[in-house]
Each structure stands twice: as C-alpha cells, then as structure tokens.
C-alpha cells in the first residue's frame, strides 16, 4: 500500500511543539510523539525510538511508538512468530470539514485473524493553521493501530524490555509548561463542562474573552484553562446541589410534608 502523493508540501515543525507530560492524557502524549515520527519520515529521517516512557502523577507509563510497532511486526515476521501485513484491501476513508478518518485492515497469515485499524485526524492544528499532512498522519496511525491489535500483549512487554535494553526508547517526561496553548482535547473537555454546567455556549465564550483577555478560547494557555476548569467545576457542583434541593422539595411536597 502506498501513501498519497506529497507534492507541494512543506513540513512546519513549529506546529508540533515539544511535548510535555502536562499536556493531558498518556494517549495524547504518545499520539503527539508519533506525529513527530511521521513528520520526520516525511522529511526523509528515521527516528530510532521504538518505546515511549514517562512518569505522570507517580505512575510510570511505557508503550510502543509507531516505529516500535513496525519493528515488532518485522521482528515477529522474520523469526516465524507471525506473518502480519497490511491487507491489499483499499483503505476506507471518511472526510468531513474538520477531520479525515482512515480505516486500514491488517492480517496475520500465520496465526490467523485480522483487525481494522481506525484513526481520525483533525485537519487543523489548535492554532487554526491547516495541517497539510492530516491524510498521511491518519493513514500511518491507522496502519499502526491495525498491526498493534495483532501483537499479543505479553509479546509487547517482551519487546519493550528488549528495545529499552538496546537504548531505543524516548523519555517524554518533561517539566510542566503551563504557558503552552491548550490542546484540542482540553477544548473538548471545556465544551463538555459548559454543557454539563447548563451554561449558554455563546455567552460563556464572551465571558472567557473578557475574563482572560483573549480573542478566542484556543488562545487560552494551559494555566488559564486549568483556572477555567476550576470555575466550571464549582458551577457544576452548585447546579447539582440545586437540583438535589429541588428534588427533595418536590418529594416533600408530594408526600404532603410541606
């Protein structure tokens, strides 16, 4: 399977800023690191980083990188443990204004079975700039997900130990940089909290602009978003308390107690 043409495209590494553990969840941290690997490959470079590891809230987290999944598949195939490959099936592609989604099928002809790998990639960075490599990233990640699904977990652990012993790991642990812009995932959490708090989205947006002196929510820093989360948490708690009081009042009224 070949990737789409990359004509007239240039890689802007500034959009993929250095990753810090503070940027949210383990999955997103590794996703961002894999995007760096994909961009490096598009520039003709190969990052010899097969394992990601970092600490978050006292937990040590490790996982195979995109290159690590490929190398694990290559090793398993070479040593007769499996025969995993991407199927000749044409990838399924779904596309909307904001994202592109790719489905890729992988199979293991030695052990049997197969798996679909699915990845939805945003077409724009949080900054609003167009991500010209959204298709390539979605395709590479879908292939990764399909192949990863066919690797037994006990073998994943074995290969992580092997790669770390070879010095082919990357520590993603970094200092907490709360001055960085918010991520897409943080903005989605914000929207969900606004809805849960029962607030008007438009009015809330205007309040955020005034309160934090920004032109748009995407201009908020992580520190500002943390502060906003606390305010929304308080509003949600107050809303729930009010609902409980109202519920008890209605029950008392129905029972003739008031």
Query: What is the domain range of residue 38?
Result: 13-171
Evaluate if residue 128 carries a pLDDT over 80: no
Residue bearing the bigger pLDDT, 119 or 8: 119
Kindly state whether residue 1 falls inside one of the protein's structural domains. no
Same domain, 106 and 217: no
Evaluate if residue 7 carries a pLDDT over 50: no
Kindly state whether residue 5 falls inside one of the protein's structural domains. no
Average pLDDT of the residues in 179-192:
81
Question: Tens of pLDDT along 196-224?
Answer: 999 999 999 999 988 888 888 888 887 78
Same domain, 71 and 191: no
State how far the alpha carbon of 235 is from the alpha carbons of 182, 199, 224, 226, in Å. 21, 9, 17, 14
Kindly state whether residue 79 falls inside one of the protein's structural domains. yes
pLDDT band at 24 (very low <50, low <70, confident <90, very high): very low
Choose the weakest-confidence range: 99-108, 156-165, 183-192: 183-192
Domain boundary residue, one of 144, 171, 198: 171
Residue bearing the bigger pLDDT, 7 or 73: 73
The b-or-e profile of 219-242 (16+ CB within 10 A means b, else e) is bbbbebbeebeeebeebbeeeeee
Give me the pLDDT at residue 241, please. Answer: 87
Same domain, 40 and 146: yes
């Amino acid at each position: 399977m070949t990737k789409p043409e990359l004509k007239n495209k240039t890689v802007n590494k500034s959009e993929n800023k250095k990753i810090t553990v503070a940027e949210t969840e383990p999955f997103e941290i590794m996703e961002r690191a894999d995007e760096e690997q994909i961009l490096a490959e598009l520039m003709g470079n190969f990052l010899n980083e097969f394992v990601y590891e970092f600490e978050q809230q006292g937990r040590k987290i490790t996982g195979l990188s995109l290159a690590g999944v490929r190398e694990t598949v290559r090793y398993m195939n070479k040593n007769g443990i499996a025969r995993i490959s991407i199927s000749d099936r044409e990838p399924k592609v779904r596309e909307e204004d904001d994202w592109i989604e790719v489905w890729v099928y992988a199979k293991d002809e030695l052990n049997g079975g197969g798996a679909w790998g699915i990845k939805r990639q945003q077409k724009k960075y949080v900054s609003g700039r167009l991500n010209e490599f959204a298709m390539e990233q979605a395709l590479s990640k879908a292939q990764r997900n399909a192949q990863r699904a066919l690797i037994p977990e006990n073998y994943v652990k074995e290969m992580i130990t092997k790669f770390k012993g070879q010095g082919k790991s990357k520590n993603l642990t970094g200092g907490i940089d709360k001055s960085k812009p918010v991520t897409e995932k943080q903005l989605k959490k914000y929207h969900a909290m606004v809805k849960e708090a029962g607030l008007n989205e438009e009015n809330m947006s205007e309040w955020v602009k005034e309160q934090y002196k920004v032109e748009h929510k995407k201009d908020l820093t992580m520190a500002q978003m943390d502060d906003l989360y606390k305010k929304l948490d308080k509003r949600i708690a107050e809303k729930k308390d009010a609902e409980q009081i109202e519920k008890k009042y209605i029950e008392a009224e129905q029972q003739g107690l008031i």
